[in-house]
Amino acid sequence: MKRVMVSGGAGFLGSHLCRKLLAQGNEVVCVDNYFTGTRANISELLENKNFDVLRHDVTFPLYVEVDEIYNLACPASPIHYQHDPVQTTKTSVMGAINMLGLAKRLRSRILQASTSEVYGDPEVHPQREDYRGLVNINGPRACYDEGKRCAETLFYDYQRQHGIGIRVARIFNTYGPRMHPQDGRVVSNFIIQALRNEPITLYGDGSQTRSFCYVDDLVDGLVRLMNVDGDVIGPVNLGNPHEISVRELAETVIELTGSRSVLDFRPLPADDPRQRCPDIGRASELLHWKPRVELRDGLSRTIAYFDELLAREPAPPQS
């Protein structure tokens, strides 16, 4: 049995990861400051005797004894990471230093949740790991993108300088149950709007593309990457290469929910990437991994989750 730490374990991806690691028979230590994560996400794990929770901010040092570390702590949606950009960069950079310092003392393996945002608004399509990206150093997304880029640099340097067993996953857009209902991400926004028959907020003309990976597939990829034998040099893309436009996504969600919602075109946010799609050749070769859940199937499961969540909300006051 391993003792595995998950920073950001009360968040969307982190809570799914904690659940999978427990199911595999590990002890799990969840470390979170509850900025965007919630106790509700991990409530049913609290009864498990192999599950521990620490309320802690990773920008401060942390002394615990664990065998393996998944570093997921960082707000991931544009409205949350832009809420306090300085804290976002600190979380990525100082968080990485502290987690790497911990791994160095313990000689434990450590995985970084990096992001497709390190490619910025890419000129190369689909994105392979050797593409260096096009990131605006001074835009509203920079706190997240540059913070994650610097965190990656720290991981590679701790590997070279201190011989730490590192893994860097570049995660592409992921969706599924337990996404934060108010974090403004496109899948949760569209589903909630469709379920309420409210207008679907489409930014720009909706022709920008994304590639959406169901959370179970993504978490499976993270665990495989952590456990693959030997040294892994450089980052590994994890995501679903099925690319669609944001408009197509809106139309699919309307169809699957049977909604009466109409499309409401809004201005495109600054620096919004035009297109994004992972090349997952490296993950396929190294991890024998590929996503299995089709978009319509994953969306249906996510719709069922939000449907139940909204049903628990108090009814709006009668006018």
Q: What would the DSSP string read from start to end of 60-87?
A: S------SEEEE--S--SHHHHTTSHHH
Of the candidate residues 97, 150, 244, 309, the single one contacting ligand UDP (CB under 6 A): 97
Dihedrals φ, ψ of 67, to 5°?
A: -95, -25
Residue 186: contacted member of ligand NAD, ligand UDP, none (CB under 5 to 8 Å, by partner type): ligand UDP
* Interface characters, 41-60, with ligand NAD (x: CB under 6 A): ----------------xxx-
Q: Residue 201 interacts with ligand UDP (CB under 6 A)?
A: yes
Determine the Cα angle at 102 with ends 77 and 221, to 5°: 50
CA–CA distance, 247 with 261 (Å, rounded to integer) = 13
Determine if 185 is a binding residue for ligand UDP (CB under 6 A): yes
C-alpha–C-alpha distance, residues 283 and 156, integer Å: 18
DSSP 202: E
Stretch of 24-32, 48-56, 60-68, 225-233 lying at the interface with ligand UDP (CB under 6 A): 60-68
- Report what 36 binds from ligand NAD, ligand UDP, none; CB cut-off 5-8 Å by kind: ligand NAD
Contact criterion met (CB below 8 Å) for 32 and 11: yes
Q: What are phi and psi of 74, to 5 degrees?
A: 170, 130
Exposure on the CB side of residue 220, measured as CA atoms within 13 A: 16
- Nearest CA-CA partner of 302 in 208, 171, 181: 181
Q: Is there a catalytic annotation at residue 81? A: no
Residue 237 interacting entry, from ligand NAD, ligand UDP, none, C-beta within 5 to 8 Å by type: none
Q: Which is nearer to ligand UDP, 214 or 287 (CB)?
A: 214
- Can residue 140 be called a binding residue for ligand UDP (CB under 6 A)? no
Minimal distance, residue 32 CB to ligand UDP, in Å: 16
Least distance (Å) between residue 25 CB and ligand UDP: 25
DSSP track, 115-144: EGGGGBS-SSSSBPTT---B--TTSTTHHH
With beta carbons less than 8 A apart as the criterion, state whether 89 and 78 touch. Answer: no
Among ligand UDP, ligand NAD, none, the one that 261 touches (CB under a kind-dependent 5 to 8 A) is none
- Judged by beta carbon distances under 5 to 8 A according to partner kind, the member of ligand UDP, ligand NAD, none in contact with residue 97 is ligand UDP
Q: What amino acid positions are annotated as catalytic residues?
A: 144
Residue ranges in contact with ligand NAD by CB under 6 A = 7-8, 10-14, 32-37, 57-59, 72-76, 91, 95, 113, 115, 171, 173-174, 180
Residue ranges in contact with ligand UDP by CB under 6 A = 61-63, 77-78, 97-98, 101-102, 104-105, 173, 184-186, 189, 201-203, 208, 210, 246, 269, 272
